[in-house]
Structure 1
Amino acid sequence: MERIRNDQIIEDLVLQNKRNADISRIIDDRGRPIREHVVPILDDLNLGIVRPHIQAQLFELKPVIFQMLQTIGQFSGLPTEDPRLHLRLFLEVYDSFKQQDVPEDTLRLKLFPYSLRDRARSWLNVLPSGTMASWNELC
């Protein structure tokens, strides 16, 4: 229980620092034309999970996969949620959609972000780029 509390404190500090950085950037950007504000700055994208390379010729993530992830419920990181249950349910969905010539880690890493929301998704988004390169590192 103490670890969960410490994790929450750390997460709150990270989010506050991120908000402060965003405000500073907005203030510094006052002289930029509006059109520059709507163009995405790709350098700011944080990819905590290494994007796995897919060698299969016919790889497709079908909409039904995302619907099933929605059905089992996305994990938001609340203290009342069971992360082990979420992982078990996630793996059940994953097992239903294994694809030929696509390694397990690859498909799991591609799908996992879609199973998160709110605090859990924020946690994933603040991981340093390239932190998670395999399923074992993620779990």
Structure 2
Amino acid sequence: MTYKRKTHRASCHCGSVTFEVRLADEFNTIRRCKCSYCTMRGAVAVSARLEDIRFLKGEELLTLYQFNTKTARHYFCSVCGVYTHHQRRSNPTQFGVNVSVIDGVSPFDFPEVVVLDGINHPTDEESGPRVAGYLRYSRSE
């Protein structure tokens, strides 16, 4: 029996960029990173294979940002500025998709998110990715 992964719809804040994505392992790959860039961006990302994202509209409106080694490719809507996804430096065969752009999903849906040490990047270290800590969210009563 083959497991068919769910297709999620996603869009930026203004709706200029819309796409469908099939996640690598649903939301079991959620994470944040504490490199200089991701610390400022503050997004929670989830994994998808490169071939599992299909743009419905606005792909030409995406703006690319790269820094340091220029391996990772970070994409934003050029209209509203929302980060939608990035091609990972740690695994260039995957996208990290901003969970906030997925319809019906919020980063506050996850009580705990692992934070990876992106300062000591896994591709720069022999040991692979290191956990830097955990981001926890609990609702107030």
**Pairwise TM-score range, normalised by the shorter structure:** under 0.3
TM-score w.r.t. length of structure 1? 0.23
Greater RCO, CA 8 A, separation 6+:
1
Larger strand percent:
2
